[in-house]
Amino acid sequence: MKAAVNSRYGGPEVVSIQNIPKPAPKDEEVLIRTYATTVNSADWRIRSLTVPTGFKFLVRLAFGINVPRNQVLGTELSGIIEAVGSKVGKFKPGDAVFADCGTSFGAHAEYKTMPEDSAIALKPVNLTFEQAAALSFGGTTALSFFTKAGGIRQGDCVLVNGASGTTGLAFVQLARHFGATVTGVSSAGNHTLLRQTGAHHVIDYQAEDFTKNGQSYDFIIDTAGTAPWKRAKSSLTKTGALLAVLGPVSDMLKAAIVSRKNGRKLIVGTTSTTGSDLRMIARLALSGAFTPVLDCVLPVADIRAAHERVDSGRKTGSVVMRFEQSRPAAHDPEPFQTMELANVVQHR
C-alpha cells in the first residue's frame, strides 16, 4: 500500500510516498481503507522535533532516539471499514468512519488497523470524507479543554487567540454553539472567516493588544502561544480561566499552584481522544454546530506541499490529503450539504 514515510526527523523534504506492507487486522481490530487524512500541527511537531525547550529528549525517547520509530505520521483519518477481526462487534465492512490515531500516528497510509474500542466513530452523514477527516484534532481539543475548565455556560465571554487555525476555529464554533459571546483574534485577512464561523467580535493582533482593551473574559483560549498567564491573567474575570492549548513550560509548571491560589484558573496539558469523544463531536457535526474548515485539500502525492503549508503557521483550518481511491457514491453527502461553511453552521 502507499504511505507517506518520514525516515528521519527534519523538514518537509524528509517525507516521501513509498510502498509499505498492507496491515491485517488482529481479532479485536478493524482495517480502515483511508479516503482522507490531515497534516496537522502534531505531525509538524514530531516530524521536525519542534517541541518546547527541555522536551526534545523526552520526545526522542518516546518516538525514536535517532530516527522515528513509527515512520508514518498522521493522527486523523476518514474512510471505509474494509475488514474486521473475528472478535469485532461494533463495526462491519462497509461502515464509513472517522478516527483519531493519537500519538500512535499512522494515518498517512492507504490502510490503517485500529482496535475497535479505540477512537473510531461512524462518519456524520452530512460531512464529506475530507471534512470528517478534520473533525477530531480541533473538535476534541476544544471539548476537552472546556471540560477541564469546568464547562462553558450560556452568556460566557470567550476570547480565542489564534482563532483561525484548526483548534482556534473549533473553539470559536463550539463556544458560539454553547451560547457564549465570542471574540476571535487573528490577522485581519481572516476576520471574514471568523465572523462566518461564529465570532461576534474580531481583533487584529497586529493592530490591537487585547490585553489592553479593558475587556474581561470568562475564558481566554490561547492556541497561538502569545498569551501566557503573565500577559493574559488581568484580562480574565475574577473566576475566569486561561486555556493554554499552547503555552510556555513555565505555565505548565505553575498551573496547579496558580489555579489553587487564585479565583482564576490556568488550564494546561494535552488531550487524548476516545471513541466516546468522537461520537460527541460527530453529534455536534450532525447538528450543524461544528463543521471543520478546510484550508486546502491536496492529493497524497503532494504530501510535501501539505507539510510546507502546515509549517507556515498560517493555515486557516485543516490541511487535508486525499487518497485517490474510487469511492462508493452513497457515502458522500449530497452537494447541497457541502456548501460554504457560512450556510451550514447554525448560529443561535
Ligand X SMILES: NC(=O)c1ccc[n+]([C@@H]2O[C@H](COP(=O)([O-])OP(=O)(O)OC[C@H]3O[C@@H](n4cnc5c(N)ncnc54)[C@H](OP(=O)(O)O)[C@@H]3O)[C@@H](O)[C@H]2O)c1
Residues that bind ligand X (CB under 6 A): 40-41, 45, 141, 161-162, 164-168, 185-187, 190, 205, 223-224, 226, 245-246, 270-271, 313-316
Residue nearer to ligand X on the CB measure, 103 or 346:
103
Residue nearer to ligand X on the CB measure, 111 or 219:
219
The beta strand positions in 268-317, using DSSP E, are: 294-299
Chain position whose Cβ is nearest to ligand X = 165
The one-letter code for the residue type at 294 is L
Residue nearer to ligand X on the CB measure, 81 or 101:
101
Output the smallest distance, CB 181 to ligand X, in A: 19
The whole-angstrom separation of Cα 188 and Cα 97 is: 36
Output the smallest distance, CB 60 to ligand X, in A: 17
The one-letter code for the residue type at 147 is T
The one-letter code for the residue type at 146 is F
Output the smallest distance, CB 311 to ligand X, in A: 9
The upper half-sphere exposure of residue 320, i.e. CA atoms within 13 Å in the direction of its Cβ, equals 25
CA distances from 329 to 96, 97, 138, 296, 332 (A): 12, 15, 27, 22, 6
Residue nearer to ligand X on the CB measure, 80 or 202:
202
Residue nearer to ligand X on the CB measure, 157 or 160:
160
Instruction: Answer whether 78's CB lies under 8 Å from 38's CB.
Output: no
The whole-angstrom separation of Cα 199 and Cα 345 is: 12
Output the smallest distance, CB 271 to ligand X, in A: 4
Residue nearer to ligand X on the CB measure, 90 or 148:
148
Q: Interior CA angle at 147 toward 141 and 149, to 5°?
A: 105
Q: How many CB atoms lie within 10 A of CB 66?
A: 8
Output the smallest distance, CB 226 to ligand X, in A: 4
Helix or strand (DSSP H, E) at 203: strand 201-204
R_g (Cα) of the chain, nearest Å: 20
Output the smallest distance, CB 93 to ligand X, in A: 32
